[in-house]
Amino acid sequence: LVLLGAAAVTFVVLGLREGTSDDVVAQTADPAIWAFFGAGAIAICAMILPGISGSFILVMLGMYGPVLGAVTDRDVVSLGVFLVGAVIGLALFSQALHWALNRHYDTVMAVLIGLMLGSMRVLWPWPDGVDSTAIGAPEGT
């Protein structure tokens, strides 16, 4: 039941695609510095879990554009704050995941498998073919 619930939630969330990718990337115009910290802490959690993309989480938070802009502009302060958030998020979330696996192994594994199964929506069966930009393939090579 937990596996099906996690798969269903992931399946639905990955199906949310309103607007163009440019609209989504430009959601947060000028975020506060603490937003970079929070985005780093949350995005790294997604990178630990299977079936969830850290950059997708940044898009959902409206921080993908600002983080990408900080990389492009070589904004050391924003990137440093993002990195500190990622390190702290990694330390805290890995400990929480370790604790959860030790105490509720079957439930946690069911959720993780559900995340992977739910993410199949965007991976398979590739309705537009493997050259589709919908799966991240570059346009015209």
Answer whether 6's CB lies under 8 Å from 114's CB: yes
Residue pLDDT, tens place only, 22-75: 554 445 667 889 999 999 999 998 888 876 778 878 888 888 889 999 999 999
Q: CB-based burial of residue 69 (10 Å sphere; 0-12 exposed, 13-18 middle, 19+ buried)?
A: middle
Region label for 102, one of left (φ > 0), alpha (ψ between -120 and 50) or beta (otherwise): alpha
Residue pLDDT, tens place only, 84-140: 999 999 999 999 999 999 999 998 888 888 877 777 766 665 555 445 555 454 555
CB atoms under 10 Å from CB of 83, counted, come to: 15
pLDDT > 70 in the chain, percent: 66
pLDDT of residue 11: 63
Tell me, yes or no, if the pTM score tops 0.75.
no
